[in-house]
Amino acid sequence: MGESRASTAAVECVNCACALVPDSKRAPFWFETGGGDGSAREPWCPECAVYVRMPQEPARFAVGRFAPNHCLSCGWSAVAIGATNVCSVCGSHAVLALPPKIGAA
């Protein structure tokens, strides 16, 4: 069986260095940095992914289609894709939109 893309190892956001999975309940958003073959990936926290990294590629990431959310039901923070008022982890509608982090640029 092939290797899973999901990881439970502790990682940090490449932009602000905040802790991501497993204990923080902050799901990383992975960006491919290599030639598109998936060999090189960078983890970004939900806020930095949406407010810092995605604006660097406006043709690839449409404005308003991604939102960093915190779910009040499951406690996870993650990037919601498409339906930005739904938790991407558990599907709950009890989510709060996360603002940009101060000083993370």
Q: Could you report the per-residue pLDDT of 21-80, keeping only the tens digit for each?
A: 878 899 999 998 876 676 789 999 999 999 999 999 899 898 889 999 999 999 999 999
Report the sign of the C-alpha dihedral through residues 19, 20, 21, 25, in that order.
positive
Q: What is the pLDDT of residues 69-105, one digit of tens each?
A: 999 999 999 999 987 789 989 999 999 999 998 876 6
pTM metric for this prediction: 0.83
Strand partners for 41: 32
Is 53 within 8 Å of 60 (Cβ atoms)? no
Contacts of 98 (CB under 8 A, 6+ apart): 46, 47, 68, 69, 70, 77
Alpha helices in 1-105 (DSSP H): 46-48
